[in-house]
Structure 1
Amino acid sequence: MTSFDLTPQKREELLGLLLGKLESYYADTDALRVSPPLDIEQIQTEVRELFESSGSELEATNTLVEKLKTFSVHTPHPDYFGLYNPRANFAGILSDIITAYFNPQLAAWSHSPFAAEVESFLIKEFGQRFGYPSANADGVFATGGAEANLTAVLCALKHTHPDYAVNGLMGLNKRPLVYCSHESHHSIVKATRMVGLGSDSVRNVAVQSNLTMDTEALSQLIQEDLDAGHQPFMVVGTAGTTGTGAIDNLSAIHSIAKQYNLWFHVDGAYGGSAIISNRLKPLLKGIEHSDSITMDAHKWMSVPMGTSMFLTQHPNILSETFSTSNNYMPKDAGGLQIVDPFNHSVQWSRRSLGLRVYLSLLFFGWDGYEEVINHQTDMGEYLRTSLTKNGWAITNQSALPVICFTHPEYANDSEFATYITSKVVKSGLAWVSTYPVQGTLKVRACITNYSTQKSNIDHLVQLVNDAKIEYEK
């Protein structure tokens, strides 16, 4: 019979090879192209040929790492200025190795009590940082902002419609509606589709010139929907929009939510981590009044992908929304004052996510994280200043390190931004994207990497300057 364990000698040999190659990649990421050529036929051929090869375990492991190194956008690269995909800190990487070995199952508390309590502890810690009372702070780790936002929609429905968990949408006689800005993340739309509300239940609120939600328009839209016989139940404020880093007026949204008795959720998947920085924390004023918060630790906290949190100051809402009875889950903790995680989450069987954040905080502490977040913010300001000095125009207003820009001569030319971005990405020397601001595509650059320095930003500015010259030829 095949031994999945392999022999101790083979394990040691494979680990030696793998750790050496991974350390080389981690130490020298900046020597690689940021992005690969995207030849789909070649990549599909490489996948098939590796699968059909009859090499040894060592050869398979070595080749797999090499293929990933060749055919990946290297988000850990300091010249990656793209989406919110940072370089993972080493503590987070170590925690993933530990988790893979122990393979804790967080459905039942009694199976992995230490890992489960780590997550409960962190939820309390983050809840209090956001201003939730300690006695009320609750939540759950999630695989990403989309799952956390889905959790928010489900909790909001249960809170505003107490019989929803039993009767579902069939028990409602009015159409439930969710409100968020035109700049909000599309996971809200996806969540409404998943719960059966449909995308038409999402009301997109107009934004102001700074791309934050127009709260007067929000109030007007809610009133119009009430007059039409609908039932508003939830409003989502965004703390750090994906495209431009805009932070909605959370205090004003809270006042409106309170007036109309709506669940107030803050999607702080990106900008929520600003709560760690004393300098940036004031930007989140009003978040302490929210009913729930989404925060992705895999963004500014630089832990491996798929580490998000849903936080709430309604301590019973998760159990009321997700609790089920069954005959097969372990009853070892039946007499203890605990809630099994499977009764507290969208997920059932799941791996530990909190260990990534826990070990990182053990290594670096809150002060270390504040330093890193402030550094990235400083690098964002340096990029704004450098671009302006070189004649470029900044087209978004954000204190976060998300910069959208174009050249004044081509302010209304989407093709210009597309050309600049394509030229930079195809060079393999950096990675940027485009985003529509006020109806026209702009170049978008975001500082996502704690190791990005002024020299990397100088390099990016030179690349876009050179691309502009070529565009004008």
Structure 2
Amino acid sequence: MIDDILAELEADTSLEVGKQFAAVTARYFENTRAGAGQVSTPHTPEQLAQRFSEELPRQGRPVAEIIARLEREVLADANKYYHPMYMGHQTSAPLPVGIWMESVIGALNQSLAVWEMSPTATMIEHQIVGWLATLAGYGAAAGGTLTSGGTEANFTAMLAARNSLLPNAWEEGLGADAPVVVYGEHAHYAVTRAIGQLGIGRRRGISIPSRDYRINVDLLVGALDRLREEGKSIMAVVATAGTTATGAFDDLEAIGPICDERGIWLHVDAAHGASALLSSRRPRALSGLSHSRSLAWDPHKMMLLPLATGMVLTREEDDLERAFAQQAPYLFHGGKSTRIIDQGIRSFQCSRRADVLKLWFVIQRFGSEGLGRLYDHLCNTAQLLHDAIEERDDFENLHQPESNILCFRYLGAAGKREAGSGANDRDRQRVDDLNRELRPRYNREGSGWITATVLDGRPVLRVTMMNPRTGEAHVRALLDGLAAKAKEIESP
């Protein structure tokens, strides 16, 4: 008998059940955005694994009972991205309307592979691709699709670049003379991953050293000319607008014409930084973005959309279609006009959520101006931290923030004098060890949460401002908390 299950399905569609989910979400907002409680879990992976070690349930349970467990055992120990002291990875405190739209998207369950399965959402995706491509300086021939994030977007762009250089690669493979890809040393790992996945071989990836954490343009020119002299085919140059480590923007105004003159595909990984196009103070380097043939853009970063909302754009829509040139008559069986609309012919994904709807709703809610002001605010918060560090002797900045990311170091009680040019190797090693240990010890306490990286061979502390509610008081509390924890480490 299925009648009891059908009755439960009917009950679960009621407004009362919906209110229970809305209530738990609202409580999560309320408890975290005010800065109450711990930012992250104090428990170890082993402890959490034990919590979720029960056998597969055979019988269902009431919704209210499951929600209570969700709140008690899942939400309580999840990372609190709405907490103003969370300054960790590039994961946003998403805009509330984007979160509510997730429920609508799930209810509609549209699949954006073909127009006939998602007639309205498909047209909205085309509209938004056009809007954002125009911001990037692309013309009417541009195309794009939403992706699961920057990794898929970068891979898709690399596939398009490969098929542009080697049109028969889809059918014939690469053969012995695979091309090379040139990128900056601070490029995201997704770039080298794509090189490997495409069968080009990671050894054919050419990394260009940086200057001030950006591609050294002089070295780039030398490398491109040398590769041409050696008879190597160059599939693409990959520049970054908003590096993961420091938020730096490669000089697209210089790199773009260099690629144009040599007929090289320029791809820009702007997953983090493309949202600066919405800002009235956008970095000058982005003015060269129109030279690119493709770009990656993650609205789930600096546009504060919920995961996962990525995008790939190409200056010529045909480049995307050629990248996925396949026949599937059981799916793509419309006429030519319908096939042009179908986004599945430009995407890896067939089962594609209508994630574009939350992006559309957020743009309608705040407009490009409002989203630009949010971008500026997050960057200003990083500048506030930079300025607060400049006032102290026990920390040092590693760079001027170009976006919402800042790397810095704790120097210890002796401060900048000891860590400077007069420091000996032992002093420098002590500071390195202290910074390496400081981040996990600080995070474990739960009052705040940051990340770390390595710059110029040395461990550094790193923050990313992804919550509009983080302000000056919070960044000063961060420095005080780190200093207090460091003193505990120095004086056990």
TM over 0.5: yes
Q: Find the counterpart in structure 2 of residue 182 from structure 1.
A: 185
Gaps of at least 5 residues in structure 1 are none
1:91 maps to amino acid: V
The 8 Å contact of residues 184 and 214 in structure 2, kept in 1 or not, is answered as: yes
Cα shift at 1:283: 3.7
1:169 maps to amino acid: L
Q: Find the counterpart in structure 2 of residue 442 from structure 1.
A: 460
Question: For residues 239-278 of structure 1, what are the structure 2 equivalents within 5 Å?
Answer: 239-278=241-280
Q: In structure 2, how many angstroms separate the alpha carbons of the residues matched to 1:107 and 1:359?
A: 21
Q: Find the counterpart in structure 2 of residue 131 from structure 1.
A: 137
Bigger Cα displacement from structure 2, 223-232 vs 449-458 = 223-232
Q: Find the counterpart in structure 2 of residue 326 from structure 1.
A: 328
TM-score (norm 2): 0.91
Q: In structure 2, how many angstroms separate the alpha carbons of the residues matched to 1:322 and 1:42?
A: 45
Q: Find the counterpart in structure 2 of residue 159 from structure 1.
A: 164
Q: Find the counterpart in structure 1 of residue 289 from structure 2.
A: 287
Question: For residues 69-80 of structure 1, what are the structure 2 equivalents within 5 Å?
Answer: 69-80=75-86
Bigger Cα displacement from structure 2, 77-86 vs 319-328 = 319-328
Q: In structure 2, how many angstroms separate the alpha carbons of the residues matched to 1:166 and 1:114?
A: 34
The 8 Å contact of residues 137 and 315 in structure 1, kept in 2 or not, is answered as: yes
Q: What SS is found at the alignment partner of 1:49?
A: coil
Q: What SS is found at the alignment partner of 1:329?
A: coil
Identity %: 25
Q: Find the counterpart in structure 2 of residue 82 from structure 1.
A: 88
Bigger Cα displacement from structure 2, 13-22 vs 90-99 = 13-22
Alignment of 1:402 onto 2:405 = yes
Q: In structure 2, how many angstroms separate the alpha carbons of the residues matched to 1:343 and 1:398?
A: 39
The 8 Å contact of residues 275 and 297 in structure 2, kept in 1 or not, is answered as: yes
Q: Find the counterpart in structure 2 of residue 64 from structure 1.
A: 70
Distance 1:156-1:6 versus aligned 2 partners, 3 A rule: same
Distance 1:162-1:9 versus aligned 2 partners, 3 A rule: closer
Q: In structure 2, how many angstroms separate the alpha carbons of the residues matched to 1:389 and 1:50?
A: 55
What is the CA deviation profile of residues 47-93 of structure 1, one whole-angstrom value per residue up to 9, with x for unaligned ones?
Answer: 12385596433212321232222332222221111111011101111
Q: Find the counterpart in structure 2 of residue 32 from structure 1.
A: 37
Cα shift at 1:293: 0.8
Gaps of at least 5 residues in structure 2 are 421-427
Q: What SS is found at the alignment partner of 1:85?
A: coil
The 8 Å contact of residues 110 and 330 in structure 1, kept in 2 or not, is answered as: no
Distance 1:330-1:132 versus aligned 2 partners, 3 A rule: closer
Distance 1:345-1:336 versus aligned 2 partners, 3 A rule: closer
Q: Find the counterpart in structure 1 of residue 145 from structure 2.
A: 140
Q: Find the counterpart in structure 2 of residue 423 from structure 1.
A: 441
Cα shift at 1:332: 5.0
Bigger Cα displacement from structure 2, 63-72 vs 98-107 = 63-72
Q: In structure 2, how many angstroms separate the alpha carbons of the residues matched to 1:471 and 1:48?
A: 35
The 8 Å contact of residues 109 and 333 in structure 1, kept in 2 or not, is answered as: no
Q: In structure 1, how many angstroms separate the alpha carbons of the residues matched to 2:207 and 2:82?
A: 34
Bigger Cα displacement from structure 2, 249-258 vs 303-312 = 249-258
Q: Find the counterpart in structure 1 of residue 54 from structure 2.
A: 49
Distance 1:27-1:220 versus aligned 2 partners, 3 A rule: same
The 8 Å contact of residues 113 and 343 in structure 2, kept in 1 or not, is answered as: yes
Cα shift at 1:94: 1.8
The 8 Å contact of residues 207 and 213 in structure 1, kept in 2 or not, is answered as: yes
What is the CA deviation profile of residues 243-277 of structure 1, one whole-angstrom value per residue up to 9, with x for unaligned ones?
Answer: 11111111221122123321100101111111100
TM-score (norm 1): 0.94
Alignment of 1:375 onto 2:355 = no
Q: What SS is found at the alignment partner of 1:174?
A: coil
Q: In structure 2, how many angstroms separate the alpha carbons of the residues matched to 1:287 and 1:327?
A: 37
Alignment of 1:201 onto 2:204 = yes
Q: In structure 2, how many angstroms separate the alpha carbons of the residues matched to 1:292 and 1:274?
A: 17
Alignment of 1:463 onto 2:469 = no
Q: In structure 1, how many angstroms separate the alpha carbons of the residues matched to 2:6 and 2:475?
A: 47
Q: In structure 2, how many angstroms separate the alpha carbons of the residues matched to 1:464 and 1:417?
A: 10
**Which of 108, 114, 121 in structure 2 is aligned with 1:108?**
114
2:38 maps to amino acid: R
Cα shift at 1:398: 3.0
Q: Find the counterpart in structure 2 of residue 344 from structure 1.
A: 346
2:82 maps to amino acid: P
Q: In structure 2, how many angstroms separate the alpha carbons of the residues matched to 1:281 and 1:109?
A: 37
Q: In structure 2, how many angstroms separate the alpha carbons of the residues matched to 1:61 and 1:337?
A: 43
